[in-house]
Amino acid sequence: MDVLATPPANEPTPPRSGPACVACGETAIVHWLRRLTDDELDEVRRTENDRRAEVLRLADPQLPPPEFPPLPTGADFTRAVYSCGPHAITMDAAALVHASSCTAPNDADLPGCDCTPEPAPESPIEAAPAAPLPDHWVTGGA
Ligand SMILES: [Zn+2]
Ligand SMILES: [Zn+2]
């Protein structure tokens, strides 16, 4: 048996450079945000409850007990959805926060999705300027 003809057993595979597409597992190149599902939110809250229990356990009994704000709600979190190029939704849709139930990227709905994303937040940058810019500040102006 010719040992040299055998490919090395542990051929180094290039490490994945980032997250994978949710739909096909290819390396993701874009992402957008969606709200957490009830299960995901439960998990976040459970982790936070555990953390608080630990803080209480370690708290100095000489001091007043620590107080905590209300537990986070779904509105406090988003989760990134990763996608490769072919599975990407439109750029406009990707700029918005999607519902927890959104199934994108999903071949059936591409390049859209099956939820109604949240409206975009008001951006002060895009608001009209208070007064017209001087002519020499306008592209193509004098
Ligand atoms: Zn994909
Ligand atoms: Zn969606």
Residue ranges covered by each domain of the chain: 18-58+71-118
Give the Å distance between the CA of 8 and the centre of ligand 1.
30
Give the number of the ligand closest to the Cα of residue 25. Answer: 1
Sign of CA dihedral 124, 125, 128, 131: positive
pLDDT over threshold 80, residue 107:
yes
80 CB neighbour count, 10 Å cutoff:
11
Q: How confident is the model at residue 88 (pLDDT cuts 50, 70, 90)?
A: very high
Q: Which ligand is nearest to the CA of 90?
A: 2
Question: Looking at the CA of 107, which ligand is closest?
Answer: 1
Ligand 2 midpoint to CA 105 (Å) = 8
Ligand nearest to the CA of 112: 2
What does the pLDDT read at residue 114?
95
Q: What is the greatest pairwise CA distance in the chain?
A: 83
Rounded CA-CA distance 37/99 in Å is: 9
Only one residue has tokens 């002060």, namely 124
* Ligand nearest to the backbone CA of 22: 1
37: CA distance to ligand 2 center in Å? Answer: 13
What's residue 12's pLDDT?
A: 63
Burial of 81 (0-12, 13-18, 19+ CB in 10 A): buried
pLDDT at 81 over 90: yes
Q: Is the pTM of this model over 0.75?
A: no
How close is the Cα of 87 to the center of ligand 1, in Å?
5
- Spatial separation of the C-alpha atoms in residues 54 and 64, rounded to whole Å: 16
Mean pLDDT across the stretch 57-86? 92
Percent of the chain scoring above 70 in pLDDT: 81
Q: Which of 15-24, 78-87, 102-111, 121-130 bottoms out in mean pLDDT, i.e. has the lowest? A: 121-130
For ligand 1, the distance from its centroid to the CA atom of residue 24, given in whole angstroms, is 4
Long-range contacts, 127-134 (Cβ 8 Å, 24+):
none
Pairing of β 30-34 and β 79-83? antiparallel
Beta-carbon neighbour count of residue 102 at 10 Å? 22
